[in-house]
Structure 1
Amino acid sequence: MRSFAVSALREPPFSSARHDDTERVARESADWAQHLGLISNGHRLHRADAAGLAGRACPQGPLDRLRLLTDLISWLFVMDDACDEDGLGSEPTGLAPTVAALLDVLDHHGGPGPVPAGVAGALGLGLADLCRRVRAHRRPALLLCFTAAMREYLLALLWEAANREHERVPAVDEYVQMRRHTGAVYPSLALTDLALNGFPPASRRADPGWAALESIAADLICWCNDVFSYDKEQHGGPDAHNLITVLTWEVGDESVALRAAAERFNDRLDAYLAAENDLLASHGDAVRPALKTRRNWIRATYDWSRAAARYA
């Protein structure tokens, strides 16, 4: 699948770079996850290479902000693996108590006071730590954006769990919409904006053109991941939560679905470039830092996916 992805997906025409402190942050983030009890050993998280992805998405910026982004990605990998591989997300009634406890953490917006581990355990402690560290940067709008996006991610996991319980394959349009949230793209972009001082002002974010570009960027990031990860996700039995799977269900032919997924990605890349040009024409330099963040993430996902042992 990796060779197919490399040959079929257009390489994003954006510069590729990696933060100089990536290896240091990888060690520190693994220690953070171990200390909180998110992992019992570092093997699975090491294969995920959260720091490698974060270092590509944030090739410049202060060390502490790169650490924050890396720790978020590590937390997301742990949560996703708990749902996808360890059975937490096999049905919504099993997942709901953990989601409720994590939503309670988000409702506190990283405020002062101890956070009881509760039913969410180490996941709750880790999320509380992330919220506190975002809050410490004193960017209220960004904190609210981050916590809102994390809520959407958690609620989308319940949608996945309901599909698994009923062995349901969603329609393509439904999948595309929900994948933007199950992929946790928006909270990751928020912390990368923080790291690169690229968070756009509210007047820019309210522009429908900006919302359209955000959706396109999320699609590119998630669909690239879907194509590269498709083989791995089929090993434990078919999982409906992959673009190729839902396209196969619709067209009835896996080879046709593979080509269609690649074509969707390539067409979406053209749409992204057009949306960028439109925003630059209407907003000028005010949106350049935020556009750089999104370019970084699209390119980082492609480069990281080509090398990640997670999908080997």
Structure 2
Amino acid sequence: MRTFAAAALAGPPFPARHNGHAGEVGRQSVRWAVGLGLVSGADAARRLDRADAAGLAGRACPDARPEPLRLLTDLFTWLFAFDDSCDDDELGRAPGRLAPVVGRLLDVLDLRGGPASAAVTAAGPAGAALHDLCRRVRAHGGPRPLLDFTNHLRDYLLALLWEAANRERHRVPGVAEYLQMRRHTGGVRPSFTLTDLAYGGGPDPARRADPVVAGLDDLATDLVCWCNDVFSYAKERRLGGDGHNLVVVLTGASGGDERSGLAEAARRFNSGLDAYLRLESELLAGADPDLLRFVAARRSWIRGSYDWSLGARRYG
């Protein structure tokens, strides 16, 4: 599948770059996860190593200083570990069992990085790590990035319940529904928030609400998620799969075979990349420094996620 993806997906026309601090930051992130109990046991540690959270962060955020790069890496570590935990316990297939876990984590998000309470203890290691992430965002970014971060993570957790309900019912979502919900299940938007924080913050809220800016952000999110779907499809199919992959959704909608679904997913990614480049060109005309940083961060993400996926052992 990696060969197909490399051949069928258009390589993003941005320079491939990598943060030189990623190696040390990755080691620190593993110690953080182990220390909080987020990762325990040889199998979990092996999966975390294969996920290469620091490798993704280093490509997506190549100019970040060590501290904000570490924050982004720790978020990836949390997302990968939580995803693996849901798979191990089959919570992702049992909405009735997943809902209390999500509820406890939402209680942690409601603290918004403030003083810890019994809610953090009740949520276990995942809650302790999540609270630590929110605390650090509060300390380094202030209220706006903190609210964006917690709101995006809330959307992520609630979207996991949508996935679990679909799995329980053996339901494949429709194309429009999937495209909307995939923006939340991928964990990309809280990651964008930390990337913007690493570069001094993104555009002000009025500018972010501009349809062109919001449209560019949506397209960048889509491209990262669709790239992931194509690269991860073979592994998901081998493990039994479900309806939460762009290839599966497009195949189901068209009534075609796997080959046509893969081709359509690649075509959609390439078309989306073309649309992104057109919108970016429009946006960059007369852009101020904040907007330039915002666009540079999205470029790095699109290119970085593509490069990381080419060698990702997580999908091997």
Q: TM exceeds 0.5?
A: yes
How is 1:58-137 mapped onto 2 (pairs within 5 angstroms)?
A: 58-114=61-117, 116-137=119-140
Secondary structure of 1:137 counterpart:
helix
Partner of 2:23: 23
Contact 2:51-2:313 within 8 A present in 1 as well: yes
Partner of 1:142: 145
Partner of 1:299: 303
Partner of 2:49: 46
**1:239 corresponds to which letter in structure 2?**
D
Contact 2:107-2:119 within 8 A present in 1 as well: no
Measured against aligned partners, the alpha-carbon deviations of 1:112-155 in whole angstroms (never above 9, x if no partner) come to 23454445311100000000000001421111111110000000
* Aligned length in residues: 312
Q: Distance in 1 between matches of 2:169 and 2:146?
A: 36
* Structure 1 portions without partners, runs of 5+: none
Contact 2:183-2:225 within 8 A present in 1 as well: yes
**2:270 corresponds to which letter in structure 1?**
N
**1:218 corresponds to which letter in structure 2?**
T
* Structure 2 portions without partners, runs of 5+: none
Partner of 1:209: 212
Secondary structure of 1:89 counterpart:
helix
Partner of 2:166: 163
Partner of 1:34: 34
Contact 2:61-2:300 within 8 A present in 1 as well: yes
The structure 2 residue matched to 1:263, chosen from 260, 267, 270, is 267
State which drifts further: 85-94 or 293-302. Answer: 85-94
- Evaluate the alpha carbon distance shift between residue 138 and residue 8 of structure 1 in structure 2; reply closer, same or farther with a 3 A threshold: closer
Secondary structure of 2:203 counterpart:
coil
Q: CA RMSD in A?
A: 1.3
**2:35 corresponds to which letter in structure 1?**
H
The structure 2 residue matched to 1:233, chosen from 232, 236, 245, is 236
TM superposition shift of 1:282: 6.2
Secondary structure of 2:81 counterpart:
helix
Q: Distance in 1 between matches of 2:52 and 2:141?
A: 29
Secondary structure of 1:13 counterpart:
coil
How is 1:173-212 mapped onto 2 (pairs within 5 angstroms)?
A: 173-212=176-215
Q: Distance in 1 between matches of 2:286 and 2:217?
A: 16
**1:308 corresponds to which letter in structure 2?**
A
Contact 1:83-1:89 within 8 A present in 2 as well: yes
**TM-score, normalised by the number of residues in structure 1:** 0.97
Q: Distance in 2 between matches of 1:138 and 1:198?
A: 8
Contact 1:115-1:128 within 8 A present in 2 as well: no
- Identity of matched residues, %: 57
Contact 2:186-2:225 within 8 A present in 1 as well: yes
Partner of 1:10: 10
TM superposition shift of 1:81: 1.6
**1:223 corresponds to which letter in structure 2?**
W
